[in-house]
Structure 1
Amino acid sequence: MTATVFGPSADGGTMVDRPAPADISELILDLQARGLRLETQIERRTGGAGPTDSGMLWVEGFPVTAPTDNAVAADSPYVLRGEDDGYGIYREGVRLAGARAERRPRFYDLKTADGIPYEQIALLHLDSLASTVVQHCTYWGNDDQCTFCGIGLSLESGRTIARKTPEQLAEVAVAARDLDGAVDATLTTGSTRGVDRGALYVARCGQAIKEASGLPVEVQFEPPYDLDVINQVGEMGIDSVGIHIETFDPAVLARVAPGKARTGIDGYFAAWERAVEVFGEGQVSTYVILGMGEDPEATIEGCKRAVDIGVYPFVVPLRPVAGSLMADWKPPTRAYTQPIYSKVLAYMTQRGMGSTTAKAGCARCQACSGLSSMEPLLQIRPRPVG
């Protein structure tokens, strides 16, 4: 039976009947696994990299990206319907939760002086401005290509430009802040063959955004060959960094990301340790993708080891990208992801790390993970005595 709790409405007024935290968390994990059919229009990403083919919405206050534009979503038992005040998520005619979606960002309708639409420079993911500053990667189109990645697809479709300049990104960030309430910026980049692997350019872009808009900024890059590059990134005033290993299972890493596998898991830990020295505990994060055939225990132990040195393991379900080498894979089920989330989150909570720790970036946003929706479950459990 579905339990409910009573709480204030979204506007802080009348007390309303709301789903219990456990029900909301299970729903969010299921939406990320099984998608959401739309009976109304909402802002969403289609095609290319990022949280692609997905709707972006708030489910009972939690940020969520869920598949809406692919075969998974077409067969989903969940439906999003428009209501008088927002949206509702239904299954077999039963309303499970309320939802809110963002309107199309106003800054999308603007262009730079040389005629480039702002929408091709950066996108708004709920309240976070996001951009891939260099849309090329040294791994793309060869034997090193990451099988889950779609970085080249956005460019091929004409949805973006190959290289964004710091000046362009700063201009767009100010507009996104002023017109649409962006609260931070998340910048990523394709890897290069240089010593810095592209870190210094993405950091220059982040520095320009921060100086122009004041928004906190996360930049994401691969471990540089020279770890002193991380110190240089810190000197540019960047708030947080993402250095993404993708999986702690070495066999899976070699299969899905051969180029990253050459750095090795210990190589990532070396980069993280330096980054934590520069940015502080909780300001360094790594993506950990579930559903690629990894060993769950190796995943949990790797996450714990990362937490021990101050790194936030941003655990997410596989989101197959149309046109990528893993396009035919399916997102992992809630039955698979929930126990892993639970164990990793419990360990993070013990170490004082949570969804409010990071100043900027994916770990701050949380929409592509189920971690933040499970935090209330730990908070309401009684603490052991003694």
Structure 2
Amino acid sequence: MGRGSSAAASLGAPPGQDGGPTAAAEALASLVVDLQARGLKVEVPLERRTGGAGPSDSGMLWVGGFPITVPTDNAAAAGSPYVLKAEDDGYAIFEDGRRVAGASTQQRPRFYDLTTADGVPYWKIGLMHLDSFASTVVQTCSYWGNDDQCKFCGIGVSLDSGRTIVKKSPEQLAEVAMAAKELDGAVDATLTTGSSNGVDRGARYVARCGHAVREATGLPVEVQFEPPMNLDVIDEVADLGIDSVGIHVESFDPAVLAQVAPAKARTGIDQYFRAWERAVARFGEGQVSTYVILGMGEDPELTVEGCRRAIDMGVFPFVVPIRPVAGSLMEDVVPPAREYTESIYRKVAAYMSERGMATDVAKAGCARCQACSGLQSVEALLQIGARPIPISHAV
């Protein structure tokens, strides 16, 4: 599917507008962000990610050419004005009966029907997130079930629901990733892990798994882990040939971080910056990313300034709205409104553009896929000359 400014051309401007490329891009960006806030009703078959960690309880599709994950199985989606319907030549998004965008969907991956020699279904080892193969290699976390549990996380929910296994081996992951590439066109692999109490926080094992996948498939690989207690571990990860890393701070607001992710707060935001600096030196600018979650009560100015500081050192701030996970401690949180997330997207995208960091810079991982964020659709506005919101202005 096409991306960036070319995608904007696939959406007609709303009634009353001149239908020019800027109007079309504005409408498409707003639609993408609003869908992620308000969800989508579905009247056609749609591949969905249900239960636990990842883009949970969501449908996976392309809207106007942009890859997006959209809530389809929660209370917001049940009351959404948006509906995915069939057309003669495909699918489209309708709002209150009016067609607003073309859409295409992901079919059930063929590798899901396979099993390992010892009888484990491939889909319990890894999943397709649109065109990306993804897996949590260790489905346990030292924070889960105690006072340190990250309130937005659903890592234990996936395990309790029987949708995965506790630990995937490098050999299993390599086997399943190869099938995902050959049967379903996976273009990269994203591997994450629950945090351990070890000095490496789980980084060594997820990197070993990533190395096995890369050696077997040739796919670019991102691995995700917390800042190791010894930053030399980051060099060990790089030495295994990993392409990109995700080291996720989640929020640049220390008060919010202390409330929703107390163990990460104890690590400290400055330690994340130290880890990122080490990682950028090894992996390169744009190949180190961090999740920045919106809608947890954060100060928007601290959020934008934190993104700016990260961009300045070559870190990609993957800004996303919170996706409440059923069974998590924040399952009842309402995602932030489109106006809030879009205003922050515009500031961050504008600064990324100013610093020469495009949304397609990452070789692998969530920042490469982009489906859980609206940053890419907002970037398209800048590419066709829409006026950005200066980063120094208040949200």
Normalising to structure 1: TM-score of the pair? 0.95
The CA deviation at 1:83 is 1.6
Structure 2 unaligned segments of length 5 or more: list them: 1-6, 12-18, 389-395
The CA deviation at 1:247 is 0.2
1:297-320 per-position Cα deviation (integer Å, ceiling 9, x unaligned):
000000000000000000000000
1:245-324 equivalences under 5 Å are 245-324=249-328
Q: 2:71 aligns with which of 67, 72, 77?
A: 67
2:188 aligned with 1:181: no
1:11-30 equivalences under 5 Å are 20-30=24-34
1:140-173 per-position Cα deviation (integer Å, ceiling 9, x unaligned):
0000000000000000000000000000000001
Q: Could you tell me how far apart the structure 2 residues matched to 1:334 and 1:156 are?
A: 33
Q: Identify the residue that residue 375 of structure 1 maps to in structure 2.
A: 379
In structure 2, give the amino acid aligned to 1:49: A
Judged with a 3 Å threshold, the aligned counterparts in structure 2 of structure 1 residues 7 and 312 are, in CA distance, closer, same or farther, namely closer
1:125-204 equivalences under 5 Å are 125-204=129-208
Q: Are the aligned partners of 1:252 and 1:294 in contact in 2 as well (CA < 8 Å)?
A: yes
1:45-84 equivalences under 5 Å are 45-84=49-88
1:328-343 equivalences under 5 Å are 328-343=332-347
The CA deviation at 1:383 is 9.0
1:344-368 per-position Cα deviation (integer Å, ceiling 9, x unaligned):
1100011111111000000000000
Q: Are the aligned partners of 2:62 and 2:68 in contact in 1 as well (CA < 8 Å)?
A: yes
Aligned-pair identity (%): 71
Secondary structure in 2 matching 1:159: coil
The CA deviation at 1:379 is 1.0
Judged with a 3 Å threshold, the aligned counterparts in structure 2 of structure 1 residues 8 and 48 are, in CA distance, closer, same or farther, namely closer
Q: Identify the residue that residue 116 of structure 1 maps to in structure 2.
A: 120
Q: Could you tell me how far apart the structure 1 residues matched to 2:100 and 2:194 are?
A: 40
Structure 1 unaligned segments of length 5 or more: list them: 10-15
Q: 2:241 aligns with which of 237, 241, 264?
A: 237
Q: Are the aligned partners of 1:223 and 1:267 in contact in 2 as well (CA < 8 Å)?
A: yes
2:361 aligned with 1:361: no
Judged with a 3 Å threshold, the aligned counterparts in structure 2 of structure 1 residues 243 and 382 are, in CA distance, closer, same or farther, namely closer
Q: Could you tell me how far apart the structure 2 residues matched to 1:58 and 1:66 are?
A: 10
Q: Are the aligned partners of 1:35 and 1:68 in contact in 2 as well (CA < 8 Å)?
A: yes
Runs of 4+ in 1 over 4 A off after TM superposition: 5-9, 16-19
2:128 aligned with 1:96: no
Judged with a 3 Å threshold, the aligned counterparts in structure 2 of structure 1 residues 374 and 6 are, in CA distance, closer, same or farther, namely closer
Q: Could you tell me how far apart the structure 2 residues matched to 1:287 and 1:29 are?
A: 17
Q: Are the aligned partners of 2:10 and 2:65 in contact in 1 as well (CA < 8 Å)?
A: no
Q: Could you tell me how far apart the structure 2 residues matched to 1:270 and 1:383 are?
A: 34
Secondary structure in 2 matching 1:224: coil
Q: Considering only aligned residues, what root-mean-square deviation do their CA atoms show, in Å?
A: 1.7
Q: Identify the residue that residue 91 of structure 2 maps to in structure 1.
A: 87
Q: How many residues align?
A: 374
Q: Are the aligned partners of 1:6 and 1:17 in contact in 2 as well (CA < 8 Å)?
A: no
Q: Could you tell me how far apart the structure 1 residues matched to 2:90 and 2:110 are?
A: 19
Q: Identify the residue that residue 223 of structure 2 maps to in structure 1.
A: 219
Q: Are the aligned partners of 2:276 and 2:315 in contact in 1 as well (CA < 8 Å)?
A: yes
Q: Could you tell me how far apart the structure 2 residues matched to 1:341 and 1:213 are?
A: 34
The CA deviation at 1:381 is 1.1
Q: Could you tell me how far apart the structure 2 residues matched to 1:255 and 1:382 are?
A: 37
Judged with a 3 Å threshold, the aligned counterparts in structure 2 of structure 1 residues 139 and 225 are, in CA distance, closer, same or farther, namely same
Q: Could you tell me how far apart the structure 1 residues matched to 2:386 and 2:160 are?
A: 53
Q: Identify the residue that residue 327 of structure 1 maps to in structure 2.
A: 331
2:38 aligned with 1:34: yes
In structure 1, give the amino acid aligned to 2:259: R
Q: Could you tell me how far apart the structure 1 residues matched to 2:199 and 2:53 are?
A: 25
Q: Could you tell me how far apart the structure 1 residues matched to 2:30 and 2:139 are?
A: 35
In structure 1, give the amino acid aligned to 2:33: L
Q: Are the aligned partners of 1:48 and 1:154 in contact in 2 as well (CA < 8 Å)?
A: yes
Judged with a 3 Å threshold, the aligned counterparts in structure 2 of structure 1 residues 366 and 7 are, in CA distance, closer, same or farther, namely closer
